[in-house]
């Protein structure tokens, strides 16, 4: 075997070893600053490198000319909000998806309150018997919406976009 072929083989083996130890998308967790390797403030192109198949909506189909909300390919129950060209918010709405404090959609509110003791609680928009619970963290935040004593959805990102109650509107 030639020397250059050995180096190529060694490089492939090293790449496979690194990939085997990297967290899989199923292990990604939501925090105020991002979801797994996807970080608030990343450009669309940077996110697309980590999420092949991510395609922007045609401008004519967007609720707002400067905002785009997209499903994350390969991640059922996860949407990404881009404002301009930057990732501004990540939403989770499917059971099994978790935050860095191990709570997520479908979990009881009691577990949420034990995991995040410093949440600000407000009535949920349009549903005053339900709650919106928010943790503000610097320029970012994480917010939980409840339904019938359980977490219905979680979203995190820039403080301004976390406060949006109807997607990009």
In a domain, 32, yes or no: yes
pLDDT greater at residue 86 or residue 65: 86
Q: Is 169 within a domain?
A: no
CB 150 within 8 A of CB 94: no
Distance CA 21, CA 169 (A): 40
Asked whether residue 15 is domain-assigned, the answer is no
Asked whether residue 112 is assigned to any structural domain, the reply reads yes
10: in domain? no
101-158: per-residue pLDDT in tens? Answer: 999 999 999 999 999 989 999 999 988 889 999 999 999 999 999 999 999 999 999 9
> Which residue segment(s) compose the domain that 152 sits in?
26-162
The answer to whether position 4 is within a domain reads no
In the numeric block, which tokens belong to residue 128? 């005053």
pLDDT in tens, 5-25: 554 544 444 333 333 334 445
- Between CA 12 and CA 18, with CA 16 as vertex, the angle to 5 degrees is 115
Confidence class of residue 3 from pLDDT cuts 50, 70 and 90?
Answer: low
Gap between the Cα atoms of 22 and 130, Å rounded: 38
**pLDDT value, residue 59:** 87
CA atoms within 13 A on the CB side of 60: 0
Alpha-carbon dihedral angle through residues 150, 123, 142, 81, given to the nearest 10 degrees: 100
CATH of the domain at 126: 3.40.33.10
pLDDT of residue 1: 52
44-60 per-position pLDDT tens digit: 999 999 999 999 999 88
In a domain, 51, yes or no: yes
Domain total in the chain = 1
Give a yes or no: residue 124 inside a domain. Answer: yes
Q: How far, in whole angstroms, is CA 59 from its chain's centroid? A: 22
| Predicted local distance difference test score (pLDDT) of residue 169 | 74
More confident residue, 8 or 162: 162
């Amino acid at each position: 075997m030639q020397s250059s072929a050995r180096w190529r083989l060694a490089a492939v083996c090293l790449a496979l070893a690194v990939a085997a130890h990297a967290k899989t998308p199923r292990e990604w967790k939501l925090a105020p600053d991002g979801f797994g390797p996807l970080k608030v403030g990343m450009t669309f192109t940077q996110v697309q490198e980590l999420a092949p198949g991510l395609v922007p909506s045609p401008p004519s189909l967007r609720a707002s000319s400067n905002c785009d909300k997209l499903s994350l390919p390969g991640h059922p129950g996860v949407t990404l909000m881009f404002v301009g060209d930057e990732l501004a918010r990540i939403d989770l709405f499917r059971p099994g998806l978790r935050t860095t404090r191990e709570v997520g959609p479908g979990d009881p509110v009691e577990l949420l309150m034990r995991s995040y003791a410093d949440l600000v609680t407000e009535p949920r928009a349009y549903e005053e018997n339900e709650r919106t619970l928010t943790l503000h963290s610097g320029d970012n935040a994480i917010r939980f919406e409840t339904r019938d004593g359980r977490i219905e959805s979680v979203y995190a990102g820039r403080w301004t976009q976390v406060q949006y109650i109807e997607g990009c509107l």
